[in-house]
Structure 1
Amino acid sequence: MFGKGKNSPAMYALGMLAMMIPSQAFSSFYSYYYVEKLGLGLGLATLARTIFLVWDAANQPLFGYWSDRTDTKYGRRRPWIVGAIPLFMLSFILVFSVPEGLQGYGLFAWFLIALVFYEAVATVLWVNYGALFPELFRGNAQRAKASAVQQGFQIVALLIGTAATPLLFAAIGFNGMSIVYALVFAVLMLLFAGSVREDEEARRTPPLPFKEAFRETLKNGAFWTFNVANSFAQTVNGLLSSMIPFYAKYVLKIPEAQVTILLAAMFVSVIPLVGVWYRLIRKMDPVKGWRLSLIAYGLSVIPLWFGNSLATGIAAGILVGFGLAGFFVTPPIVSGMIIDRDYEKTGRRREGIYTAVSGFITRSSGLISALAFLVVGILFGYESGDNPGPNPEATFRTLISVVPLGLIAISVAVSFFVKLDKGEPAKER
């Protein structure tokens, strides 16, 4: 059944489609659901994200280390992925299934527990899925192709997770939406897992001891500067997604039903632009191509400030799509180069630990996003949907344009410290 698709870019990208549909629905609407719909205060929402980050700091590297040390006849990564599927379904449903009448600290407790559970299981999936990329695809050209296909599937997932979600929760509620997405995730993820065949040689290579594995990771300067730069840009991804519903309501002043049109316009434009970036990156040094994508992304958020209707919002969203497409395609190629050079040095493939630590750095961007929401909310007086303050329009113009521009400016500045020698250390297979 899976013979022709074994380890193909399309079947690998199916895993991205599976995970990103519910993940995008989560990142785009959990703040809107808890803060705007249920009335959870921004302070409590930020506190929950902070507690999660402490937990995430511990579980990310450990899950990566354990994944690298796993040795079964089914591979290192697949057992973790398959085992996490039912737990992810349950955790996602719990996030959007708050009992009626729950308020204040009770609502905060539900949010915190559901968030910690969801993020822990999501970590297992993302660490093991990401660790497969540099193992299955070797060489910059092959990775550029695989990344472009993967990001094409990601755009489709983003489109479904953002544009279709308002239609679903309007029709069947947030709980019904979460059940539908959980089932879709399970079917697609099982198809992906059935198509993967891991590298036997990598599995049989003895792993580095715990302390040495982390010491080598901590000493890798290119790895740290690359991921720090990426984390600020990743913050913008999450911030844009989560602010769109607020932006539509308070800035564009369009009905909730039209949010789907706005999101669809933004993400549909990304699909052909992924191909443009694929052609660009094939002809460039990967680090320079990645830096160019960051610059384009920063410039693309400026027009969002000037939106004042559905039409102008759509036009600004299409421009964002160009920068977003570049940021989707370029980072996996640079990350793969960093892992290859580590393999040359240590003689061990440690995709799991690198993916895990990288994931922690980039996912800590969620805290930056939450803090930005809190600080800007305080400055303009926005507390929640029950108390939006005197100028919610300025609140969300700032959060969707000014803050992202500043974050990407930091990302571009840090990117100039990423130095990787040219070459093709890993042979294409």
Structure 2
Amino acid sequence: MKRSWINSPYTFALGMFAMMVPSQAFTSFYSYFYVEKLGLGIGLATLARTIFLIWDAVNNPLFGYWSDRTNTRYGRRRPWVFGAIPLFMLFFVLVFSPPSGLSENGLFIWFLVTLVLFEAAATVLWVNYGALFPELFRGDRLRAKASAIQQGYQVVALLIATALTPVIYAAINFSNMALLYACIFGLFMLLCMMSVRENPESNQGEQLGLIPAFKETMKNKKFWVFNISNSFAQTVNGLISSMIPFYAKYVLNISEAQVSILLAAVFVSVIPLVFVWYWIIRKMDGVKAWRLSLYVYGLSVIPLWFGYDLVSGIIAGVAVGFGLAGFFVTPALVGGRIIDEDEEKTGLRREGIYTAVAGFITRSSGLISALAFLIAGMIFGYESGDNPGASPELTFRYLISVVPLCLLVISVVLSYTVKFNFSENKRGDHDLEQTEAINR
């Protein structure tokens, strides 16, 4: 492989594309496949999901801790990723390939076991891939560029996984769809990892034991404030994407076929807008850029309140895309700074455990979204499509605009509860030289 592609943001971002295609397809369609297509009871499906979340809470910090303690000639993270690639492919295919003729209990067991196995392999990948980012890319400017490229690749993967998946499984069935996506994942993840060269110096030093490592992480106030603040903003991501079909039906009064146009207005606009945010970040400190993105995201959801047809919905969607792009790009800068500061304090690179715990906090945002939906439904009387209540339009105007605005206000307020007075970040140029030395 050419030296110019070693530790390049462009080749590293292939890993994000590789993981997001099957992961988003899984998130979007596994419930539909098991409940609607195979007839698994919604109660059993919910039970499996609950067990899955408990397992996720346990294994995330453990895999991060073990990753930090790995020390091989091939690096700390790459051996984990290479080992997880075939397992991730296998378990993803198995999730969508249950044997025919299973009873409901048998289907539940298959679903639960494959879900847990798939999640374990996915955790290994996400923790170690995420831990590589702050190590490979040092300094705000380089991290901003790498994050912008990474999020552009992510949006392309989201479009493929959400828009094309129904077409693919209708043509070749769910099992073959899973096999196709597994192969796409394997190819691009291998290309990504072949381009990565870890810094040998990161392997040096005796890592903290399990309990001290957790204590050191738990008492890092900046880490917790940053990630809890982000979890409220992350809730907005999930809430808006899940409310768009309801918003389209009850507020914009457009057909289901036009929903894809509305979704495209949001996600396609994000691709160029992440590079606008890269330009903005180059002009200011990373922490200020992160806070600015939260402000902008909050303002960007206001136009959704005023939507009334497809055209106004698209305009509002593009506005949301600008806010979303900022939130996609900027957190990587602050998260990287927190890990850098931890290294200055402990003398160790502990990206694994920080990435793992942050990932769990972020995924817990789904609970906030579900609670918001439940409360709004109770207030306005919305129960289901069969019983939408007296004011379904008002229900979804609040859920797609007012509730996200309130959540983002909380996110901004939390961001000011601790001062992120990091030591001046002058490491970027040094680390670029170090990266060039590794390439040679």
Q: Same fold (TM over 0.5)?
A: yes
Distance 1:40 1:374 in 2: 23
Task: Answer with 191-200 or 280-289: which moved more.
Answer: 280-289
Distance 2:425 2:37 in 1: 51
Distance 2:59 2:20 in 1: 21
Structure 1 match to 2:207: 207
Task: Answer with 108-117 or 356-365: which moved more.
Answer: 108-117
1:75-109 CA-to-partner distances (Å, cap 9, x unmatched) read 11111112222222233344455678989877766
- 2:4 is paired with a residue of what secondary structure? coil
Distance 1:210 1:274 in 2: 38
CA gap 1:384/1:373 in 2 versus in 1, 3 angstroms: same
Task: Answer with 183-192 or 322-331: which moved more.
Answer: 183-192
After TM superposition, the structure 1 = structure 2 runs for residues 82-101 of structure 1, keeping only pairs within 5 Å, are 82-96=82-96
- 1:4 is paired with a residue of what secondary structure? helix
Structure 1 residue 38, shift from structure 2 partner: 7.1
Distance 1:175 1:292 in 2: 44
Distance 2:336 2:354 in 1: 10
Q: Does 1:408 align with 2:411?
A: no
Q: Does 1:129 align with 2:129?
A: yes
Residue identity matched to 2:319? L
Contact 1:222 1:420 in 2 (8 A): yes
Residue identity matched to 1:184? I
Structure 1 match to 2:18: 18
User: Percent of aligned positions with the same letter in both sequences?
Assistant: 69
Contact 1:6 1:197 in 2 (8 A): yes
Structure 1 residue 6, shift from structure 2 partner: 0.7
Task: Answer with 221-230 or 108-117: which moved more.
Answer: 108-117
Distance 1:248 1:98 in 2: 34
Structure 1 residue 382, shift from structure 2 partner: 5.8
Distance 1:221 1:337 in 2: 13
Distance 1:379 1:305 in 2: 18
Structure 2 match to 1:151: 151
CA gap 1:255/1:35 in 2 versus in 1, 3 angstroms: farther
Unaligned segments of structure 1, at least 5 residues: none
- 1:428 is paired with a residue of what secondary structure? helix
CA gap 1:123/1:398 in 2 versus in 1, 3 angstroms: farther
Structure 1 residue 4, shift from structure 2 partner: 2.6
Residue identity matched to 2:92? F
Residue identity matched to 1:424? N
Task: Answer with 105-114 or 22-31: which moved more.
Answer: 105-114
Task: Answer with 387-396 or 7-16: which moved more.
Answer: 387-396
After TM superposition, the structure 1 = structure 2 runs for residues 383-398 of structure 1, keeping only pairs within 5 Å, are 387=386, 389-390=388-389, 395-398=395-398
1:219-270 CA-to-partner distances (Å, cap 9, x unmatched) read 1110110001011111222233333344445554544443332222211111
Structure 2 match to 1:424: 425
Q: How many residues matched?
A: 428
Residue identity matched to 1:83? G
Contact 1:231 1:364 in 2 (8 A): yes
CA gap 1:295/1:43 in 2 versus in 1, 3 angstroms: farther
CA gap 1:351/1:416 in 2 versus in 1, 3 angstroms: same
Distance 1:418 1:43 in 2: 42
Distance 1:99 1:383 in 2: 35
After TM superposition, the structure 1 = structure 2 runs for residues 7-406 of structure 1, keeping only pairs within 5 Å, are 7-30=7-30, 48-96=48-96, 112-249=112-249, 251-377=251-377, 387=386, 389-390=388-389, 395-406=395-406
Task: Answer with 53-62 or 129-138: which moved more.
Answer: 53-62
Distance 2:379 2:94 in 1: 32
Task: Answer with 274-283 or 318-327: which moved more.
Answer: 274-283
Contact 1:49 1:366 in 2 (8 A): no
Distance 2:132 2:213 in 1: 18
CA gap 1:395/1:280 in 2 versus in 1, 3 angstroms: same
Structure 1 residue 310, shift from structure 2 partner: 3.2
Contact 2:383 2:389 in 1 (8 A): no
Task: Answer with 322-331 or 278-287: which moved more.
Answer: 278-287
Contact 1:64 1:127 in 2 (8 A): yes
1:367-418 CA-to-partner distances (Å, cap 9, x unmatched) read 3233434444555666667x56446655544443333223222211111124
Distance 1:91 1:302 in 2: 41
CA gap 1:259/1:93 in 2 versus in 1, 3 angstroms: farther
Distance 2:224 2:77 in 1: 24
Contact 1:167 1:260 in 2 (8 A): no
- 2:201 is paired with a residue of what secondary structure? helix
Greater CA radius of gyration, 1 or 2? 2
CA gap 1:185/1:388 in 2 versus in 1, 3 angstroms: farther
Structure 1 residue 40, shift from structure 2 partner: 7.2
- 2:207 is paired with a residue of what secondary structure? coil
1:257-295 CA-to-partner distances (Å, cap 9, x unmatched) read 433322222111111111111111121121121011112
CA gap 1:181/1:247 in 2 versus in 1, 3 angstroms: farther
Task: Answer with 281-290 or 216-225: which moved more.
Answer: 281-290
Contact 2:64 2:352 in 1 (8 A): yes
Distance 1:94 1:242 in 2: 26
Distance 2:40 2:377 in 1: 14
Structure 1 residue 365, shift from structure 2 partner: 1.4
Q: Give TM-score scaled by structure 1 length.
A: 0.88
Distance 1:154 1:214 in 2: 31
